[in-house]
Structures are given as structure tokens and as C-alpha cells.
């Protein structure tokens, strides 16, 4: 009997991680972030009473969050990915505690926790995906992940606004804490392990500045960053200035939540865009999406505050084309990065999200000092056109 070992029956029964594993994790994470995506800008506006100062607040938060993103490889190397992922989920819940204070200091701290948590979750999840999904399957896996998140980004913003307006601030942000804990439980159930092959060797730079230099030196990584930056700028604008636009034009808070939910409902089209990319090629599909997005944004800016609902319709059309970039854009990075430096390059690549939360509010705060709210969409439309041209000119046809 002393040599008899009882092995738990359920451990070998757990399936290996696949595309559905990461799609389910991302879906629950999306619920934790989407639920208050429309509440946060409205709450900030209620505290500050000025859309230009709201832009400045988002700029400050993005600048602080950027430094955390760049140091993420050091944290992963020191504490292992699973603990960084766990900390990211916990930060989403902690941010809720700050938001319920409904003060400027609490708003700032809550937004910062939210940015840091999202950074930790995004980088570690991308590393897990590159470990378990073959390069040839990235496009299908990413489109599936976006499609599954549709449920969260569709119902989440409206749910958050409903809880905020009907039951108060504690109900809206309490839901975030519940989803964050559910994400933790699901993550530890899957028991995803670290792959030692992606950890940086002793001779490879761990310094954030050295990692940036290494990233910038690779043209395909620079291009992948720009593609991600352009489409992320759209979502930053859509989530922040979409609800603000509806409130300022008199359509109401609920209309802002419905606009965001309607745009996110289109995420189910990620499967369609994934198939389109496979059939026509990622380069052609992403270029078309960028130019179409640009046209919709310029139209939205031209209409502006004169017909708010028509402007909202143009923004929804822009969201439809942006989803193509969500489904296909990250494959440019995943198929270009070298396996031995994934951790370092993933952290630098992730700065596209920080810069997309930093740059637009900063630029818009200047533009809004001279023009109306519609100028925000015109500015973004011009950026989309530039990204479309660069994508067509430099993205390899073989992608």
C-alpha cells in the first residue's frame, strides 16, 4: 500500500487549451470591462462638467498606464504569467471600489486600475494564444475570439447604463467585480501553464527602452502596431465620445449606452471578416476596411450635431468595418514576432492600446477648443485613411 498513489481522476480529463479556451476567457473578461464602458465617461462628465477636461483626464490616465505596460515583461519574468493575469483580474475589481466614491480622485484611481488590469490581461492572454495556437490558425482563432466577445460588448454597455441609472453606482460597478471574480475562477480552472521557451534569455534585453528599440527596428512589427493603433483609436473614440455625443445633443444617457451596444453587437461579423480575409487576403481586406471606416467617419463629422441619430448611424457603419481589423489585425503581429522574444515584443505591441487611449483625447482636446464635437470624427477619419494607405503599401501580400 505504501507504493500506491491515488491520482485525481479529473486532472487528465481536462482538454488541452484551444481557440475556444481563449475565446471563453476573453468573453468573460470583456463582460468585466464592457459593463461600465459607457458609464465611466458619463460619470467623468458628471464630475467635471466639461468634455474637454474629460479628454484631459483620459490623457493623464493613458500616460500613467503606458509605463506599466512597458514594464510588464519584467513582472512576467519575476512573478510568472499566471500571477500577472490574476493580478490583472483583481485590478478590475479594485477599480470598482474607487469608482463608487464618485470623486475626481476616485475616478482617476479607478480608471488607472482599469487600464493596468486590461494591460496585464491582454499581454498574458496573447502570450498564451501564441503558445497554444498554430500560426496558420491565428486568423480563425482571433475571429472566433472577437465573435464570442460580441455578447459582452453588446449587452454590457446597456446593462451598465441600466444599472447606473436605475439602481445606482454600486450596482453598476459591483457587476464588474462579479465578472472579474468569474474570470479568475475560469482561468484557474483551465490551469494554463507558462511555456519556458518564450521567456527571455540572459543575453536578451529586459530593459523597456531596449525592448522598444528592438521592436522599432523590425518593419513588420512597426506596421502591425500601426494597424492595431488605428482601429483601437476608433473604439476609444466610439466608447468615450459616442455616449458623450448623445448626452450633449440631448438624446440621453440610455441612447449613448444603446449606441455602444449596437456597435458591439456587430462583433458577430468577425466570423464573416475572418472568412473574407482567408478568401481575399488579409492585406486587401484590412485596406478596404480602413478606407470604408474613414468614409463613414468623415460623413459622421460632416453631419455632426445637426442630426444626431444620423451621425450615430454613420458611427455604427464605421464600427462594422473596424471589426474587420479586430478580427484580422493582430495576425500581422502574431505571424511576425520571433518566438524567443514574444514576451518583450508583446508588451511593446500592447502600447498601441495605451497610445490609442492617450493620443486621441489629447488631440481632441485641442481640436474641440476650435471646432464642434463633429470635428472629433473628422480627425479620426483622416487617421483611418492614412492607416489604410500604409497597410496597402507595406503589408505583405502573403499575409
List the pLDDT tens digit at each of the 399 positions of the chain.
Answer: 444 444 444 444 456 677 788 888 988 998 999 888 878 888 888 888 877 788 788 878 878 887 777 788 788 788 888 899 999 999 999 999 999 988 999 999 999 999 889 888 988 888 888 777 776 666 677 777 877 877 887 778 778 888 888 888 899 999 999 999 999 999 988 877 655 444 444 445 456 777 788 888 888 899 999 999 999 999 989 988 888 888 888 777 778 778 877 887 887 788 788 888 878 888 899 999 999 999 999 999 999 888 888 999 999 999 999 999 988 888 888 777 777 777 778 778 888 877 887 788 778 878 888 888 888 999 999 999 999 999 998 887 766
d(CA 79, CA 87): 10
| Whether residue 216 sits in one domain with residue 182 | no
Give domain status of residue 198, yes or no: no
So what's the pLDDT on residue 345? 83
For residue 337, give the C-alpha cell.
Answer: 514576432
Q: Are residues 282 and 347 in the same domain?
A: yes
Count of structural domains, the chain? 2
Q: pLDDT at position 193, please?
A: 62
How many whole angstroms separate alpha carbon 265 and alpha carbon 246?
Answer: 18
Q: Looking at the domain assignment, is residue 4 inside a domain?
A: no
Among 192, 219, 241, identify where a domain stops.
192
Q: Which long-range contacts (CB under 8 A, 24 or more apart) does 297-302 make?
A: 297/234, 297/377, 297/378, 297/380, 297/381, 297/384, 298/377, 298/378, 298/381, 298/382, 300/374, 300/377, 300/381, 301/374, 301/375, 301/376, 301/377, 301/378, 301/379, 301/381, 302/374, 302/378
Do 232 and 153 lie in one domain? The reply is no
Cα separation, 83 vs 90, in Å, equals 10
The model carries a pTM of 0.72
Please tell me whether residues 65 and 129 are part of one structural domain: yes
Q: Domain for residue 200, yes or no? A: no
Residue 364: all three cell numbers together: 481632441
What CATH number does residue 32 fall under? 1.20.1250.20
Q: Which of 137, 157, 192 is the last residue of a domain?
A: 192
- 356 with 277: CB under 8 angstroms? no
Same domain, 172 and 255: no
216 and 182, same domain (yes or no): no
Q: Within this chain, do residues 259 and 185 fall inside the same structural domain, yes or no?
A: no
Domain range for residue 44? 14-192
Regarding whether 301 and 255 lie in a shared domain, the answer is yes
- Cell numbers of 63, please? 500616460
Whether residues 158 and 236 share a domain: the answer is: no
Which of 192, 224, 242 is the endpoint of a domain?
Answer: 192
The whole-angstrom separation of Cα 77 and Cα 79 is 6
User: Domain for residue 55, yes or no?
Assistant: yes
Q: Please give the DSSP secondary-structure letter assigned to residue 192.
A: P
- Does residue 170 lie in a domain region? yes
Amino acid at each position: 500500500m505504501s507504493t500506491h498513489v491515488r491520482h485525481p481522476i479529473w486532472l487528465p480529463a481536462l482538454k488541452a487549451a484551444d481557440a475556444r479556451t481563449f475565446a471563453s476567457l476573453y468573453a468573460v473578461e470583456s463582460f468585466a470591462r464592457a459593463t461600465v464602458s459607457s458609464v465611466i465617461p458619463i460619470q467623468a462628465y458628471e464630475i467635471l462638467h466639461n468634455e474637454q477636461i474629460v479628454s484631459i483626464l483620459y490623457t493623464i490616465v493613458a500616460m500613467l498606464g503606458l509605463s506599466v505596460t512597458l514594464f510588464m515583461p519584467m513582472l512576467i519574468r519575476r512573478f510568472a504569467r499566471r500571477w500577472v493575469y490574476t493580478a490583472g483580474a483583481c485590478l478590475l475589481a479594485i477599480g470598482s471600489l474607487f469608482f463608487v466614491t464618485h470623486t475626481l480622485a476616485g475616478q482617476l484611481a479607478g480608471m488607472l486600475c482599469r487600464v493596468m488590469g486590461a494591460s496585464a490581461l491582454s499581454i498574458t492572454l496573447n502570450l498564451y494564444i501564441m503558445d497554444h495556437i498554430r500560426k496558420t490558425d491565428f486568423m480563425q482563432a482571433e475571429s472566433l475570439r472577437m465573435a464570442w466577445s460580441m455578447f459582452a460588448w453588446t449587452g454590457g454597455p446597456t446593462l451598465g447604463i441600466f444599472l447606473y441609472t436605475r439602481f445606482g453606482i454600486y450596482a453598476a460597478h459591483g457587476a464588474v467585480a462579479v465578472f472579474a471574480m468569474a474570470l479568475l475562477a475560469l482561468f484557474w480552472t483551465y490551469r494554463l501553464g507558462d511555456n519556458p521557451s518564450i521567456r527571455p534569455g540572459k543575453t536578451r534585453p529586459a530593459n523597456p527602452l531596449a525592448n522598444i528599440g528592438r521592436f522599432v527596428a523590425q518593419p513588420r512589427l512597426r506596421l502591425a502596431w500601426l494597424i492595431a493603433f488605428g482601429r483601437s483609436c476608433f473604439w476609444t473614440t466610439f466608447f468615450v465620445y459616442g455616449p458623450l455625443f448623445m448626452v450633449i445633443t440631448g438624446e440621453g444617457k440610455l441612447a449613448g449606452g444603446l449606441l455602444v451596444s449596437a456597435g458591439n453587437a456587430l462583433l458577430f461579423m468577425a466570423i464573416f471578416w475572418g472568412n473574407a480575409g482567408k478568401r481575399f487576403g488579409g492585406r486587401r481586406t484590412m485596406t478596404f476596411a480602413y478606407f470604408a471606416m474613414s468614409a463613414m467617419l468623415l460623413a459622421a463629422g460632416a453631419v455632426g450635431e445637426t442630426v444626431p441619430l444620423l451621425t450615430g448611424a454613420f458611427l455604427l457603419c464605421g464600427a462594422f468595418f473596424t471589426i474587420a481589423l479586430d478580427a484580422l489585425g493582430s495576425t500581422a503581429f502574431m505571424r511576425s514576432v520571433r518566438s524567443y522574444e514574444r514576451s518583450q515584443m508583446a508588451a511593446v505591441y500592447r502600447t498601441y492600446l495605451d497610445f490609442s487611449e492617450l493620443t486621441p483625447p489629447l488631440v481632441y482636446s485641442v481640436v474641440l477648443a476650435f471646432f464642434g464635437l463633429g470635428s472629433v470624427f473628422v480627425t479620426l477619419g483622416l487617421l483611418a485613411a492614412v492607416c489604410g494607405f500604409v497597410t496597402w503599401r507595406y503589408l505583405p501580400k502573403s499575409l
